């Protein structure tokens, strides 16, 4: 069996590559988009078929190479079902087993907490823990739907009950460590040793860490398997854009969303903007779309990170606050409006026709 621990220096991310030299089947865990050439060279040099590209979660610190590996090699991508990455070929659930090679089994262990959909992969004598358990630490639980209590439960009841000699391969290490063991972490990990669940939650809720530098790009990108628009089109043409995110199903989702929300025209939006002094207007498009032109004075929060950032937006602690969402053409904002309604916001509107309609009507007057 061939095993390799790869490292992306820019984001301190570990990627794992497993291959069976007999059947020449391989699996990659947490691949980084910037390293795609290295992966393709490695796969080419070894002459293996990359069967699966598996994610321990939707990452906030780097963009995955999963979608590109699928585009290039036909690899199947897998992401935790609770991650909201509908582009993935396989929505991973706890207890799932991925098989490859002659007789290789990778068992999925749900370890939520860093994100709701975080999983660990248990293979032979080792476990790939993503951002759940680190060497002498653990992943943070203060954004992306994180939950310190769930993280504590996952580590202590799932990972720490594996055999002591199980090797721990984490998603990151910032101190130059490469591998640890379950026994070592259970006895010496300072985040957990001697701490009650409540003490752990208190510690995790007061880390006060800055956001990862690529979070605004990485989270939305990773929900579409790390592909940009042209790579996505390429995938759609090849029929490789996942089972649930084909053009047709996205259109269906949008039309269903439109029935559940209040859509308003540009004229109505102008009236609401004038009359509602507490109206919050949010542009949910990507960074490059926002900088190329937007409505004056709005808040910019890309769709992919909207749910994680609502708590930081002034006035939105009150879920009765009126909110107007817009995107490029009204599709993403319709989906975002449904998501906000589910979170309890009762006065959400979506701009019909999006910024395209706005600029056609307002900017050309």
Task: Tell me the C-alpha distance between 130 and 99, whole Å.
Answer: 20
Two structure tokens written together for 60: 């906030």
Say if residues 64 and 54 touch (Cβ distance below 8 Å): no
Q: In this chain, which residue has its C-beta nearest to Fe ion?
A: 131
In the complex, least distance from residue 76 CB atom to Fe ion, rounded to whole angstroms = 22
Cβ proximity to Fe ion: between 100 and 152 the closer is 152
Task: Tell me the C-alpha distance between 64 and 58, whole Å.
Answer: 9
In the complex, least distance from residue 59 CB atom to Fe ion, rounded to whole angstroms = 5
Cβ proximity to Fe ion: between 209 and 317 the closer is 209
In the complex, least distance from residue 86 CB atom to Fe ion, rounded to whole angstroms = 19
Point out which span in 97-105, 125-133, 157-165, 228-236 binds Fe ion (CB under 5 A).
Answer: 125-133
Among positions 211-270, residues that touch Fe ion (CB under 5 A) are none
Say if residues 334 and 258 touch (Cβ distance below 8 Å): yes
Residue 131 within binding range of Fe ion, rule CB under 5 A: yes
In the complex, least distance from residue 115 CB atom to Fe ion, rounded to whole angstroms = 7
In the complex, least distance from residue 131 CB atom to Fe ion, rounded to whole angstroms = 4
Query: For the purposes of burial, counting CB atoms within 10 Å of the CB of 117, is it exposed (0-12), middle (13-18) or buried (19 or more)?
Result: buried
In the complex, least distance from residue 191 CB atom to Fe ion, rounded to whole angstroms = 16
In the complex, least distance from residue 252 CB atom to Fe ion, rounded to whole angstroms = 31
Cβ proximity to Fe ion: between 211 and 361 the closer is 211
Point out which span in 77-85, 124-132, 273-281, 313-321 binds Fe ion (CB under 5 A).
Answer: 124-132
**3-class DSSP assignment, residue 279:** coil
Two structure tokens written together for 203: 């510690």
Residue 89 within binding range of Fe ion, rule CB under 5 A: no
Count of residues of this chain found to bind Fe ion when the rule CB under 5 A is applied: 2
| Residue of 68, 70, 94 lying closest to 81 (CA atoms) | 94
Sheet of strand 2-8, all strands in order from the earlier edge strand to the far edge: 2-8, 13-20, 25-29, 49-54, 76-80, 90-92
Point out which span in 30-38, 51-59, 85-93, 104-112 binds Fe ion (CB under 5 A).
Answer: 51-59
| Residue of 191, 116, 203 lying closest to 156 (CA atoms) | 191
Q: Per-residue contact track with Fe ion, 269 to 298, x per CB under 5 A?
A: ------------------------------
Helices 247-260 & 331-342 angle (0-180, nearest 10): 60
In the complex, least distance from residue 354 CB atom to Fe ion, rounded to whole angstroms = 31
Cβ proximity to Fe ion: between 76 and 144 the closer is 144
Cβ proximity to Fe ion: between 59 and 191 the closer is 59
Cβ proximity to Fe ion: between 73 and 110 the closer is 110
Query: 115 Cβ partners below 8 Å, 6+ apart?
Result: 57, 58, 80, 82, 83, 131, 144, 145, 146
Cβ proximity to Fe ion: between 101 and 117 the closer is 117
DSSP 105: E
Task: Tell me the C-alpha distance between 47 and 73, whole Å.
Answer: 12
Cβ proximity to Fe ion: between 218 and 327 the closer is 218
| Residue of 29, 32, 38, 28 lying closest to 8 (CA atoms) | 32
14: which strand partners? 7
Two structure tokens written together for 296: 């004056």
In the complex, least distance from residue 4 CB atom to Fe ion, rounded to whole angstroms = 21
Q: Per-residue contact track with Fe ion, 53 to 82, x per CB under 5 A?
A: ------x-----------------------
Cβ proximity to Fe ion: between 59 and 347 the closer is 59
Residues found near Fe ion in the complex (CB under 5 A): 59, 131
């Amino acid at each position: 069996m061939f095993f390799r621990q790869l490292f992306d220096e820019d984001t301190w991310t570990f990627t794992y590559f497993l291959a069976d030299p007999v059947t020449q089947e391989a699996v990659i865990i947490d691949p980084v988009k910037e390293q795609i050439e290295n992966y393709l060279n490695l796969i080419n040099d070894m002459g293996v078929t990359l069967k699966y590209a598996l994610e321990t979660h939707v990452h906030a610190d780097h963009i995955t190479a999963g979608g590109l590996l699928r585009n290039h090699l036909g690899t199947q991508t897998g992401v935790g079902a609770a991650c909201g990455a509908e582009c993935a070929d396989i929505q991973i659930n706890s207890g799932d087993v991925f098989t490859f090679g002659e007789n290789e089994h990778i068992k999925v262990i749900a370890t939520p907490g860093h994100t709701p959909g975080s999983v660990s992969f248990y293979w032979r004598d080792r476990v790939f823990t993503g951002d759940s358990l680190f060497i002498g630490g653990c992943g943070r639980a203060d954004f992306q739907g994180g939950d310190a209590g769930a993280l504590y439960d996952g580590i202590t009841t799932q990972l720490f009950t594996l055999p002591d000699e199980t090797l721990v391969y984490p998603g990151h290490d910032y101190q130059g460590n490469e591998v640890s063991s379950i026994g070592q972490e259970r006895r010496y990990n300072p985040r957990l040793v001697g701490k009650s669940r409540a003490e752990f939650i208190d510690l995790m809720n007061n880390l006060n860490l800055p956001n990862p530098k690529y979070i605004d790009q990485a989270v939305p990108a990773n929900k579409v398997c790390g592909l940009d628009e042209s790579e996505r089109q390429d995938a759609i043409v090849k029929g490789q854009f996942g089972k649930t995110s084909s053009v047709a199903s996205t259109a269906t989702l949008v039309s269903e969303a439109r029935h559940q929300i209040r859509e308003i025209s540009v004229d109505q939006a102008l009236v609401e903007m004038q009359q509602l002094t507490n109206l919050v207007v949010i542009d949910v498009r990507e960074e490059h779309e926002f900088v190329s032109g937007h409505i004056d004075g709005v808040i910019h929060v890309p769709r992919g990170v909207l749910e994680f950032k609502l708590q930081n937006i002034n006035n939105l602690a009150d879920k009765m606050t009126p909110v107007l969402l817009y995107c490029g053409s009204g599709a993403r904002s319709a989906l975002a409006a449904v998501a906000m309604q589910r979170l309890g916001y009762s006065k959400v509107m979506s701009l019909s026709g999006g910024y395209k309609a706005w600029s056609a009507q307002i900017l050309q007057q």
